[in-house]
Amino acid sequence: MARKPGDGDMRAYVWKNTDVAEVQDMPVPVPEKDQALIRVGVGGICGSDLTIISGKHPRAKAPLILGHEFMGRVERLPEAYSGALRPGQRVTVEPLLACGTCRPCRGGNRHVCRNLRLLGVETHGGFAEFAAAPVNKVFPLADSVSDREGAMIEPLAVAVHGVDAGKPSPGDSIVVFGAGPIGLLCALVARTWGDHRVLLFERDGERIARARNLGLEVVDSSAADPVEAVMDFTGGEGADVTIDAAGVPAVGSLLIPVTGIKGRIVVVALHKSPCEVFFRQLSYGEQTILGTRIYAAGDFARALRLVEEKRIDLSGINSHSFPWSGIQEAFRVARDPSASCKVLVELP
């Protein structure tokens, strides 16, 4: 039988130390006056969760309940709340917590808040029976959206922001490097928005097969020269928009050469090491390089609409689903990017 908030403790997946995370009892969160209490249903494992467990995340501090990709049902709302949410309603949660007072926040750019925190990174997240979140970050799920899809709206919002940052025009050619979850989602969003031609690059055979199963055009970058392949794809013009969802030095050095004159380069991935970039072609072609972080105001809702309207099918992104009792195995599987894509955990 599922426990109630009044029962005291709850089960949670807690990062305790480098390479140590386990299920343990934790206090049920006490929502602040602007927060809802969510009974979590499904959570998704992100690469940043693995970075946290390895002790390499620059901001996460143990002990920490992991999980920033999750959905559930409203358990409790603030006493003074008068909005559209109702107890028992299925919802998904945007995990961004901005300070609201710094210059970026005051300018409408809360996603690059100087003091930005995320549920599951700087504060307790959604791999637990219950989680607390600001009511303005809680989005109702339509009947057309499954629980599993609801848990994947957050990474889809990252892709929405990344593609939108490239400002593609109808008919543009869009090149995406990397066929992990974010790269696949970027390619799907790019294909969905407008009459765009999308080409995806990946080296791993399993990831290539997964991308092709999603109907995407993929080039094996271990067997073909990416620059030549892009020039063939674009009639020698180069890509109008190039998206880096790989985040490795070998790709970083290709971004400028594959991009055409006046092209836009969008770096969605978080690079963990420097890469060699020769800027002369950037200047000759008046190209633009733009980094992106998470997603801007409105992107989460836009991502949700894409799924509600069945314009994007997320089922092909979900490679594995585990029950709560198998969460350790879920994290083990997620550590193998070749054998998995988006791994989900279904909570009790």
C-alpha span between 48 and 78 (Å, rounded): 31
pLDDT one-digit tens code per residue, 125-152: 999 999 999 999 999 999 999 999 999 9
Residues 51-67: pLDDT tens digits? 999 999 999 999 999 99
**What is the C-alpha to C-alpha distance for residues 47 and 334, in angstroms, rounded to an integer?**
8
Chain-wide mean pLDDT for the chain?
96
Percent of the chain with pLDDT over 70: 98
pLDDT > 90? residue 3: no
CA distances from 219 to 208, 211, 245, 285 (A): 8, 10, 15, 25
Would you say the C-alpha torsion 53, 59, 61, 65 has a positive or negative sign?
negative
Mean per-residue pLDDT for 255-263?
A: 98
| Nearest one of 348, 330, 340, 338 to 66, comparing CA atoms | 330
Centre a 10 Å sphere on the Cβ of residue 44 and count the other Cβ atoms it contains: 29
CATH of domain 5-152+314-346: 3.90.180.10
Task: Please state the rounded mean pLDDT for residues 339-344.
Answer: 96
Distances (CA, A) of 149 to 163, 190, 318: 20, 19, 9
Mean pLDDT value across residues 82-89: 95
**pTM above the 0.85 mark?**
yes
Q: How confident is the model at residue 1 (pLDDT cuts 50, 70, 90)?
A: very low
Tens of pLDDT, residues 150-185: 999 999 999 999 999 999 999 999 999 999 999 999
pLDDT at 7: 60
Look at residue 194 in the predicted model and tell me its pLDDT: 84
- pLDDT at residue 87 in the model: 97
Among 4.10.520.10, 3.40.50.720, 3.40.50.2000, 3.30.420.40, what is the CATH number of 159-291?
3.40.50.720
Query: Where do the CATH 3.90.180.10 domains begin and end in the chain?
Result: 5-152+314-346
| Residues ≥6 apart with Cβ < 8 Å to 45 | 69, 330, 331, 334, 342, 343, 344, 345
**If pLDDT is split at 50, 70 and 90, which confidence band does 301 have?**
very high
pLDDT at 5: 60
**Would you give the distance in Å from CA 112 to the centre of its chain?**
16
Residues of the chain with CATH 3.40.50.720: 159-291
